[in-house]
Amino acid sequence: MRAFRYPKPPPSEITPRQLFERRREFLRQSASGLALAAAPALWSTSAWSWTGRLGDAKATEFTTYGDKTPKEAIKTYNNFFEFGTGKDDPHKNAHKLQTDPWSLEISGEVEKSGTFGLEDVLKHQTFEERIYRLRCVEAWSMVIPWVGFPLAELLKRHDPTSRAKYVVFETLHDPEQMPAQRRDILDWPYKEGLRMDEAMHPLTILAVGLYGDVLPNQNGAPIRLVVPWKYGYKSIKSIVRIHLQEERPVSTWEAERPNEYGFYATVNPEVRHPRWHQATERRIGEDGRRRTEKFNGYGEHVAHLYESMDLSEHR
């Protein structure tokens, strides 16, 4: 299959270099408002940057307003085994990760496969702010204001074929930058998977920011998955590959400890994890514990996806 490239603007739409290099001066001069009408043409040059748009993301209908977990806690209490297994290892070690430039490969059962620069991928997305609960299997949770866009929007641009039944995600494998990958902790690279209907569900997002800023490295920069009705381990970080296929994949944790982790990872307080009970959770930054809600509280939106399944068996 031929590699797909996002369409390039025709030469007539590319701003001449001298004009582009004078854009700051132009914008200063435009303070009067007179020259502003021409501004969109200037911004459609290669100087375009997605990072500046994060703070303007629109809140969506799925947003759960609640007490957000303080940003400092979200950035310092993490799971990211590529940087160590301790909760404070990622924020100490993840600065080594170079997130710009970044490539994302989209492969397998799609008509338009290829490897794309992240800037190009994000150029086509409208960012939204989604405040979602993240629930971890070890029974802690956070409420995080993510900035991202629906995974479905990206997948649709690449035309999945009728054989696309599952989506597999892979994290970067580079022990130079991710030092704990030199150790035999997991079978690197870290992998996750979703069923196609879960991947296309509007609650599922690819996040590139939180609290209106670029995603911190320890939280999965530059792009990570967020599936709010599932345990955190479905939130694969620093994604370099999205692969569509017919067979159900085996995700990293399922391969590692099949008696503890299933493919679905749907938050289910009725099912005990062999080493923890799942009925209550500790919200990071709060005293005491809360009762855990099935589907992490998103049941009205997603319960129908599992109607015919026994979720204590399909963990």
Regarding beta strands 224-226 and 166-171, do their DSSP bridges make them parallel or antiparallel, or are they unpaired? unpaired
219 sits near ligand MTE (criterion: CB under 6 A): yes
Which residue sits closest to ligand MTE, CB atoms considered?
232
CB neighbour class for 311 (10 Å; exposed up to 12, middle 13-18, buried from 19): middle
Which residues fall within 8 angstroms of residue 170, CB to CB, at 6 or more apart? Answer: 189, 190, 191, 236, 239, 240, 241, 243
Quick check: 70 and 48 in contact, CB under 8 A? no
Number of residues that bind ligand MTE (CB under 6 A): 17
Which of 238/278 has CB closer to ligand MTE?
Answer: 238
- Which of 232, 243, 251, 306 is close enough to bind ligand MTE by CB under 6 A? 232
Quick check: 123 and 6 in contact, CB under 8 A? yes
- Which of 118, 236, 240, 244 is close enough to bind ligand MTE by CB under 6 A? 236
Q: At closest approach, how far in Å is the CB of 182 from ligand MTE?
A: 15
115-174: contacts with ligand MTE (CB under 6 A): 134, 136, 171
What is the contact mask toward ligand MTE in residues 70 to 89, using x (rule: CB under 6 A)?
--------xxxxx-------
Which of 15/141 has CB closer to ligand MTE?
Answer: 141
Q: Which amino acid is at 88?
A: D
> Which residue matches tokens 């209550």?
280
Stretch that binds ligand MTE, among 2-10, 52-60, 233-241, 302-310 (CB under 6 A): 233-241
Which of 113/217 has CB closer to ligand MTE?
Answer: 217
Q: CA 161, CA 246: separation in Å to the nearest integer?
A: 10
Q: CA 282, CA 138: separation in Å to the nearest integer?
A: 10
251 sits near ligand MTE (criterion: CB under 6 A): no
- Which of 116, 188, 190, 211 is close enough to bind ligand MTE by CB under 6 A? 190
204 sits near ligand MTE (criterion: CB under 6 A): no
Quick check: 222 and 207 in contact, CB under 8 A? no
Which of 193/232 has CB closer to ligand MTE?
Answer: 232
Region of 297 on the Ramachandran plot (φ > 0 left; ψ -120 to 50 alpha; else beta)? left
Q: Show the tokens assigned to 121.
A: 């991928």
Q: Show the tokens assigned to 289.
A: 């514990």
Q: Which residues bind ligand MTE (CB under 6 A)?
A: 78-82, 134, 136, 171, 190, 219-220, 232-233, 235-238
